[in-house]
A and B are shown apart, each in its own frame.
Chain A
Amino acid sequence: MSRPLAVGVVGAGGIAHPHADAWHALGAQITIYSADAAAPALAERYGGTAVYSMAELIASCEVVDVCTPTFVHDEIVLAAAAAGKHVVCEKPLARTHRQAVEMIEACENAGRQLYPGQVVRFFPEYAAAKRAVDSGRIGQPAILRFSRRGAAPLQPWFSDVGASGGILLDQMIHDLDYARWVAGDVERVYAQITGGDGKPTTAYVVLTHESGALSHVTGGWGHPNTVFRTTFSLAGSTGLIEHDSIRNPPLAWDLADSGSAGGTLLPSMDFAESPFLTELREFAAAFSGGPAPRVSAADGLAALDIGLAALESARTGRAVSPKEIAR
Chain B
Amino acid sequence: MSEPLKIGLLSFAHVHAAGYAMQLQGRDDVTLLTADPDHADSAPGELRGRPLADELGVSYVDTYDELFEWGPDAVVVVSENSRHRQLVERAAAAGAHVLCEKPLATTVPDGEAMIAACAAANVNLMTAYPVRFHPAFRALRDRVRAGELGTVLSASGTNNGIIPIAARRWFADPVLAGGGSLMDHTVHLADLLDDLLEARAVSVYAQSNRIVHEEVDVETGGLVVVHYADGTVATIDCSWSRPATYPTWGGLTLNIEGANGSVSFDAFGQAASGYDDTAGKAISLSYGPDLDALMVAEFLASIREGRVPSPDGEGGLRTLQIVAAGYESARTGQPVPVAS
Contact = CB atoms under 8 A, between A and B. Distances in A.
Contact of A218 (B156, B207, B227, B243): B156
A143 B333 contact: no
A235 interface: yes
Contacts of A235: 160, 212, 221, 239, 241-243
A293 interface: no
A194 B255 CA distance: 14
Contacts of A140: 211
Contacts of A212: 209-211
A111 interface: no
Given A212-B211, A238-B243, A318-B334, A194 B233 contact: yes
A292 B333 CA distance: 36
A317 B153 contact: no
B334 A206 contact: no
A319 B257 contact: no
B324 interface: no
A142 interface: yes
A139 to B, nearest CB: 8
A199 B262 CA distance: 12
Given A143-B239, A213-B211, A237-B212, A190 B154 contact: no
Contacts of B208: 214
B292 to A, nearest CB: 27
A95 interface: no
B257 A214 contact: no
A319 B241 contact: no
Interface residues of A, number: 34
A145 interface: yes
B246 A240 contact: yes
Contacts of B223: 143, 206, 214, 216
A231 to B, nearest CB: 11
Contacts of A267: none
Interface string B232-250: 1101010101110010000
B243 A239 contact: yes
A74 B227 CA distance: 37
Interface residues of B, number: 39
A204 interface: yes
B225 interface: yes
A236 interface: yes
Contacts of A237: 211-214
Interface string B52-86: 00000000000000000000000000000000000
Nearest to A223: B261
Contacts of A236: 211-212
B335 interface: yes
B93 interface: no
Contacts of A192: 154, 225, 227, 233
A84 interface: no
B205 interface: yes
Interface string B251-278: 0000001010110000000000000000
A211 B246 CA distance: 25
A188 B115 CA distance: 38
Contact of B154 (A204, A222, A223, A238): A204
Nearest to A191: B225
Contacts of A136: none
Secondary structure of the A contact surface, majority rule: strand
Contact of A143 (B213, B235, B237, B259): B237
Contacts of B213: 237
B242 A319 contact: no
Interface in A299-327: 317-319
B211 A190 contact: no
Contacts of B239: 142-143, 214, 235
A204 B153 CA distance: 12
A212 B156 CA distance: 22
Contact of B209 (A213, A239, A317, A319): A213
A208 B207 contact: yes
Contact of B257 (A142, A200, A206, A239): A200
A195 interface: yes
Contacts of A194: 153-154, 231-233, 257
A29 interface: no
| Residue of B212, B235, B239 with most partner-chain A CB within 10 A | B212
A141 interface: yes
A237 B220 CA distance: 10
Contacts of B151: 199
Given A194-B153, A195-B153, A200-B259, A145 B211 contact: no
A236 B211 CA distance: 7
Contacts of A188: 207, 333
A278 interface: no
A214 B209 contact: yes
B223 to A, nearest CB: 5
A204 B241 contact: no
Given A204-B225, A317-B335, 12 more contacts: A142-B221, A142-B241, A143-B241, A190-B207, A192-B227, A199-B153, A199-B259, A202-B153, A212-B209, A214-B207, A237-B213, A238-B243
Closest 5 CB pairs of A and B: A235-B241, A142-B211, A194-B154, A194-B153, A199-B259
Interface of A: 140-143, 145, 188, 190, 192, 194-195, 199-200, 202, 204, 206, 208, 211-214, 216, 218, 220, 222-223, 235-240, 317-319
17 contacts: A140-B211, A142-B209, A143-B212, A145-B158, A194-B153, A194-B154, A204-B235, A206-B223, A208-B207, A214-B223, A235-B239, A237-B211, A237-B213, A239-B243, A240-B243, A317-B335, A319-B334
